[in-house]
Amino acid sequence: MHRMNLGRSIRKVSIIKADGSGAIVLHKAKKSKKKKQSKQLQPMERGMRHMAEANLASAKSFSNSHKKSNRKKKDGWLRDLSKNFMTAQRKGSKKM
């Protein structure tokens, strides 16, 4: 049987037999696990996640501009290295 795509609010879908002898369960939602983390470390974890996302945005921006410079001119990546690097750093700091 294929997996049903139901919303989060639906926990269980059952078919009840007409004679009342039982029910067939079609879908039963999985219980979500609680996040194991102490309250004191939550701000630090959030900050680390934001830093990781900012680094990812910076790296992606640098990679895209590097490829564009390389396509544009011969040795364009080297000519535009400082500009591309500063643009990527600015984008990353904005994301932070």
Q: Is 8 within the bounds of a domain? A: no
| Domain, as residue range, for 54 | 41-95
Q: Is 47 within the bounds of a domain? A: yes
Question: How far is the first Cα of the chain from the last one, in angstroms, to the nearest whole number?
Answer: 45
pTM of the prediction? 0.59
Q: Is 4 within the bounds of a domain? A: no
pLDDT in the model for residue 6: 66
Q: Is 76 within the bounds of a domain? A: yes
d(CA 60, CA 63): 5
Q: Is 16 within the bounds of a domain? A: no
pLDDT in the model for residue 7: 66
CB 24 within 8 A of CB 14: yes
Q: Is 60 within the bounds of a domain? A: yes
What is the residue-level pLDDT of the chain in tens, covering all 96 positions?
566 666 667 777 777 777 877 777 777 777 777 778 888 999 999 999 999 999 999 999 999 999 999 999 989 999 999 999 999 999 999 988
Give the total number of structural domains in the chain. Answer: 1
